[in-house]
Amino acid sequence: MIRAAVMTEPNAPIEIRAFPPPVLEPCAVLLKTLASEVCGTDVHLWHGRLSGVPYPIIPGHVSVGEVLETGGEVLDMNGRPVEPGDRVTFLDVHETCHRCYYCLVAKASTRCPHRKVYGITYSASEGLLGGWSEQIYLKPGVQVIPMSARVDPELWIAGGCGLPTALHAIDRAEIRLGDRVLIQGAGPVGLNACALANASGAGWVGVIDAVPQRLEAARKMGADQCFTLTASLLSDVRTATGGRGADIVIEASGRPEAVAQGCDMARDHARYVVVGQYTDNGSVEINPHTAINRKHLEIRGCWGSDMSHFWRAMEVIDRFHDRFDWRQVISQRYTLDQINDALADVEARRVVKAVILPNG
Ligand SMILES: [Zn+2]
Ligand SMILES: [Zn+2]
């Protein structure tokens, strides 16, 4: 039997359950899980703050595994056969249809209504479809990405799902060389955005967070200046950005009030990317005249990630892991039996990144 951690319903302790070994369909892949993570979304899932989640679920969306078995020939993203013993990761988003209006006309495949996500929108009754499990079943058609030889499982999880998410936000931000970039929030998405803004040629990167330990991590990810949530925050940011405000602002905090502040901290004709409001944390008052219209402000939302973000995330962490200290983001490692501690530690922000090692 295969052990997996099951979130039976919101706000209940996670249970370890045993599942029978899966029988592989043609083109499926079975992985022995090498590493997975607890991300902020898992805490939201635990609090029941995401709609349409088919509890009970096996959480864990971004994961790394070693191939145990394939259902006949399966090709990876390079077109090479996937073989037992290979170390791979996979795009947790599956069943994007590439046939609907959003996929084809709007070119917004992360809004495809057919997409499913490992660890979030599959029920435990459908199989080992989450990373908090000794084994992960990759359904036919799941996109398999070979691990770079220089990227070990823990390094990839140190980037975690925050890396492709931040990469998407950085794409949306369209940073120009020399731009002054301000990032709100130094959680996993904000820390990754900090490194990627630097890699994109920003002239200055500022990061805001309430937790000093997170700002320390931001410095190791390339932040030039860090700000805490003080009464003088707005004027401090203005001072650091020539009195004008930032050229680019990226919201990665999850706090609705940060969006109103972000509009104020952006310069006229800045671009503002909102990526941190993944769950509904409520509304906020904004003066549309001063904050948006007169300011000529460009505001862009950013939802999820697709294969292009995932693929390039591997390229980026391979290229830049000597320059930015991703590994420091890992605060703690946990086995399946310690999963409730891991969830509680991420919830309480005692750790930035909890790595799950289902096979010890
Ligand atoms: Zn679609
Ligand atoms: Zn996540």
Q: 109-167: per-residue pLDDT in tens?
A: 999 999 999 999 999 999 999 999 999 999 999 999 999 999 999 999 999 999 999 99
Ligand nearest to the CA of 60: 2
Query: In which band, very low, low, confident or very high, does the pLDDT at 349 lie, cut at 50, 70 and 90?
Result: confident
Ligand nearest to the CA of 157: 2
pLDDT, tens digit (0-9, with 9 covering 90-100), for 227-268: 999 999 999 999 999 999 999 999 999 999 999 999 999 999
The protein residues having their C-beta less than 5 angstroms from ligand 1 (an ion) are: 97, 100, 103, 112
Report residue 243 as tokens: 């009195």
Ligand nearest to the CA of 96: 1
The protein residues having their C-beta less than 5 angstroms from ligand 2 (an ion) are: 39, 41, 161
- 331 pLDDT higher than 80: no
- Interval between CA 129 and ligand 1 midpoint (Å): 21
- Interval between CA 43 and ligand 2 midpoint (Å): 10
- Interval between CA 304 and ligand 1 midpoint (Å): 14
Q: What is the pTM of this model?
A: 0.96
CATH architecture of 2-161+305-356: Alpha-Beta Complex (3.90)
Q: What SS3 string covers 304-334?
A: CCCHHHHHHHHHHHHHHCCCCCHHHHEEEEE
pLDDT, tens digit (0-9, with 9 covering 90-100), for 162-182: 999 999 999 999 999 999 999
- Radius of gyration of the chain from its Cα atoms, rounded to whole angstroms: 20
Please report, for the chain, the start and end positions of each structural domain, with discontinuous segments joined by +: 2-161+305-356, 163-301
- Side-by-side strand order, sheet with 246-251: 225-227, 204-208, 180-184, 246-251, 266-274, 298-301
Q: What SS3 string covers 182-224?
A: EEECCCHHHHHHHHHHHHCCCCEEEEECCCHHHHHHHHHCCCC
Query: In which band, very low, low, confident or very high, does the pLDDT at 335 lie, cut at 50, 70 and 90?
Result: very high
Ligand nearest to the CA of 100: 1
E strands, 61-188, are: 64-70, 87-90, 93-94, 116-117, 135-138, 144-146, 180-184
- Interval between CA 238 and ligand 2 midpoint (Å): 32
Ligand nearest to the CA of 279: 2
- Interval between CA 297 and ligand 1 midpoint (Å): 30
pLDDT, tens digit (0-9, with 9 covering 90-100), for 199-230: 999 999 999 999 998 999 999 999 999 999 99
Report residue 30 as tokens: 């079975």
Report pLDDT for 350. 86
Query: In which band, very low, low, confident or very high, does the pLDDT at 7 lie, cut at 50, 70 and 90?
Result: very high
Fold adopted by 163-301:
Rossmann fold (3.40.50)
